[in-house]
Amino acid sequence: MQKRKLGKSNLEVSAIGLGCMGMSFSYGPPKDKQEMTALLRSAVERGVTFFDTAEVYGPFTNEELVGEALAPFRKQVVIATKFGFDLNPNFDPRGMKGAPGLNSRPEHIKQAVEGSLKRLKVETIDLLYQHRVDPNVPIEDVAGAVKELIQQGKVKHFGLSEAGVQTIRRAHAVQPLTALQSEYSLWTRTPEKEVIPTLEELGIGFVPYSPLGKGFLTGKMDEKTTFDSSDFRSTLPRFTPEALKANQALIDLLGKIGKRKKATPAQVALAWLLAQKPWIVPIPGTTKLHRLDENIGAVAVELTPDDLREVDSAASKITVHGARYPEKLEQMTGR
């Protein structure tokens, strides 16, 4: 597996990481713990060294799963987790009912980190992200709290998720950021306008989540696809039958390039992200071994400058239908 460095930080990770959320949360009922433990360990055997979790996934159960599964490989892997929510006891992840409020107050960050350290069975968190920007807490206070945790040896690297450029600059001035994690793929290209140039200027790495469009870019869905009520895609405007039908043009494009490259649509979608910048590390999630192998295979797919121009030119003519989140969740992004 090729390695990449996240920005100027020298944090070196596998070129493709593994998003662990779906093992416990959001995509239907939680998966079998033993099977997921085996999957996480198989990922390490295949050269994946970058694993992404968060306290809100479960809540808490995903960190426990990742911590236990990766304990034997602690020295080989980089585990990223996130803080920033008040996890109230009525929170039901299936419909985001009683959805947790944001809380990035410094004392709350410190409490959250103590919990994450225990669940992950580690003495230091490799990469700690603020999960969503909290409009009630100045980002300087958040960065200052993480800076103290870094000085205490409890955290190594600081990151933000779904933050806007002003927030990125203000945080970076207090405690340099190693990475920004935001949604980015061929069907969510918002970061290209302002965020990616800012990251390049400041030397911050970029970790795209949902690089396969929450499963859509694998080419395995159409307007007949249905989602269980415990699957949060059932609440997303972009996953209505009409939107799924309208957005198939993207899959046709990926399939066409894939045929030439002897690659699947998912592999082309990931290879496209890897080709954008050398400091981009996508974290596709999966609960299946054959999908893990397929995703890892994307590292070997070479897209030439001509291929990339063709993708850009064709994609620019395709209008993606449907917002990526319901309004309430959309408001939490780009702050």
Whether 312 is covered by a domain: the verdict is no
Asked if the structure places residue 332 within a domain, the reply is no
∠ CA 131-95-92 to the nearest 5 degrees?
75
Identify whether 129 is part of a domain. Answer: yes
Q: What pLDDT digit, counting tens, does each position of 64-123 carry?
A: 999 999 999 999 999 999 999 998 666 665 555 556 789 999 999 999 999 999 999 999
Which of the residue ranges 280-284, 295-299, 328-332 would you say has the lowest mean pLDDT?
328-332
Residue-wise pLDDT tens digits, 4-31: 999 899 899 999 999 999 999 999 899 9
Give the Cα separation of 294 and 223 in Å (integer): 24
The answer to whether residue 92 sits within a structural domain is yes
**Number of helical (H) and strand (E) elements in the chain, helices listed first:** 12, 11
Domain count, the chain: 1
Residue 80 and residue 51 in contact, taking contact as beta carbons nearer than 8 Å:
yes
Residue ranges of alpha helices (H) inside the chain are: 33-45, 61-70, 106-120, 139-151, 165-174, 195-202, 241-246, 248-261, 265-276, 289-297, 305-316, 327-330
The answer as to whether 47 is a domain residue is yes
Percent share of the chain, pLDDT over 70: 96
Q: Is 236 within a domain?
A: no
Closest C-alpha to 75, from 7, 116, 122: 122
Catalytic residue among 57, 129, 184, 209: 57
**Ramachandran angles phi, psi of 210, nearest 5°:** 45, 45
SS3 92: strand
pLDDT at 91: 60
Structure letter (DSSP) for residue 301: P
122, containing H or E segment: none
Does 253 reside within a domain?
no
Query: Mean of the per-residue pLDDT values for the chain?
Result: 95
Cβ distance 74 to 123 under 8 Å? no
Residue 27 in tokens:
């995509």
Q: pTM of the prediction?
A: 0.96
- Give the pLDDT score at 100: 76
129 included as an active-site residue: no
Domain with 109 in it = 3-214+277-301
DSSP state letters, 57-83: TTTTHHHHHHHHHHGGGTTT-EEEEEE
Q: Copy the structure tokens of residue 37.
A: 């433990």
**Cβ distance 103 to 134 under 8 Å?**
yes
Beta bridge partners, 188, equal 185
CB atoms within 10 A of CB 200: 13
User: CATH no. for residue 185?
Assistant: 3.20.20.100
Q: Is the Cβ–Cβ distance between 207 and 178 less than 8 Å?
A: no
Residue % of the chain over a pLDDT of 90: 94
Residue 294: what pLDDT? 98
Question: What does the alpha-carbon distance between residue 180 and residue 78 come to, in Å, rounded to a whole number?
Answer: 16
pLDDT at 92: 60
Whether 249 is in a domain gets the answer no
